[in-house]
Amino acid sequence: MRPPESTSLMDEPTFLLRAVTWHFGSGDAFFVGWGLVVLASALYARGAKRSRVFLVGILALIWLILADVIPVSPQFRDWVLFLAILRILVGRKTLQPRGTLILFAISVAPVCISELFNQWPIQHVAPKAASVAIIGDSVTAGLNAGDHTWPRQLAEATGRTVYDASQQGATVKSALTQLEKLDGRGDVLWIEIGGNDILESLPSDVYAERLDELLAATTQRYKQVVLMEIPAPPGGGRYGATQRRLAAKYRLPLVPKRQFVGVLTSKGGTQDGVHLANAGHQQMAEVVQRALGWPRQGAGKDNGPYLRCE
């Protein structure tokens, strides 16, 4: 992601800020929001006061809006939310309380199960690959000259070749330049890009067009491409939906944003909440290593070649 203009770094985020970031960035808020929907219907079924049911329903709506992670069509989500509010307002004239609870439970279960599958870590996508090429921004390239970046640590840990074309301030559009610099090297291509586009609120349709162009170009050059799901702030679900849609279009393994956020919110993982500290780079290297299915080499073995592509 784009480094700050100032040379001074922010302090590491507080525990509370990291907890909030994890809750909404990892997707946990999605399950809490739908849980509140079921709770509201359960309260109604037990004959609770309408004001209490309405309050829980409003909290559910707020949580789902902030979570903004919709693995199904927005029309389905809107239908369920509309039905929830309608039942609270019209009382018991059209449906019995127990029927309301059953209806919501049936409606919510497939949505949550679908999201669980989307968040399941991918593993062993390229265990036989001898090398990896990397497209990324400053989360990968590092913020300072002395950063022990995760591509370097990946080469050291596995003994396999790493071609690193990542650049500070890179965007989905500029990533095409990184692709040219890689010149087809590497058995598998790893993409960590898009954070700067999201932070700068690039229009979602432009973001989708540029990411589509990038993935079309990369899949022409590489037989195996792995895409990292980039977490977005509350209200940025359209970016996440685009990533998932295009990953499905090009049949690419998508590393769940939950793993990305897990590194960003770990104690000592970042320098400023966004850019990784050396401990964060180590954790990210382990995420990539597990996803590729590369075992760690034994002590005393030579480091794998690490090559910058500039």
Task: Using the predicted structure, report yes or no on whether residue 92 has a pLDDT greater than 70.
Answer: no
- Sheet containing 161-164: give its strands across: 254-255, 225-228, 188-192, 131-136, 161-164, 306-308
Mean pLDDT of 139-164: 94
Instruction: Give the whole-number percent of the chain exceeding pLDDT 90.
Output: 53
Could you tell me which residue, 280 or 47, shows the higher pLDDT?
Answer: 280
**pLDDT at position 98:** 64
pTM for this prediction: 0.83
Residue 286: pLDDT band by 50, 70, 90 thresholds? very high
Task: Using the predicted structure, report yes or no on whether residue 14 has a pLDDT greater than 90.
Answer: no
**pLDDT at position 6:** 37
Task: Using the predicted structure, report yes or no on whether residue 88 has a pLDDT greater than 80.
Answer: no
Task: Using the predicted structure, report yes or no on whether residue 97 has a pLDDT greater than 90.
Answer: no
Residue 146: pLDDT band by 50, 70, 90 thresholds? confident
| Strand partners for 163 | 133, 307
CA-CA distance, 32 to 27, in Å (whole number)? 9
Q: Are 86 and 53 in contact (CB under 8 A)?
A: no
**pLDDT at position 251:** 97
Could you tell me which residue, 64 or 194, shows the higher pLDDT?
Answer: 194
Task: Using the predicted structure, report yes or no on whether residue 69 has a pLDDT greater than 60.
Answer: no
Look over the chain and give the mean of its residue pLDDT values, rounded to a whole number.
86
Could you tell me which residue, 13 or 285, shows the higher pLDDT?
Answer: 285
**pLDDT at position 187:** 98
Task: Using the predicted structure, report yes or no on whether residue 212 has a pLDDT greater than 60.
Answer: yes
**pLDDT at position 70:** 43
CA-CA distance, 41 to 44, in Å (whole number)? 5
CA-CA distance, 226 to 109, in Å (whole number)? 29
* Residue 255 φ/ψ, nearest 5 degrees: -75, 120
**pLDDT at position 71:** 41
Mean pLDDT of 272-284: 93
| Helix, strand, or coil (residue 121) | coil
Task: Using the predicted structure, report yes or no on whether residue 84 has a pLDDT greater than 70.
Answer: no
| Helix, strand, or coil (residue 117) | helix
Could you tell me which residue, 235 or 157, shows the higher pLDDT?
Answer: 157
In the block, residue with structure tokens 């509309």: 82
Among 144, 106, 104, CA closest to 277: 144
| Helix, strand, or coil (residue 262) | helix
**90-104, 140-154, 175-189: range with highest mean pLDDT:** 175-189
In the block, residue with structure tokens 């006061």: 49
Mean pLDDT of 73-92: 57
CA-CA distance, 193 to 173, in Å (whole number)? 10
Q: Going along the chain, which residue ranges are E strands? A: 131-136, 161-164, 188-192, 225-228, 254-255, 306-308
Mean pLDDT of 155-171: 96
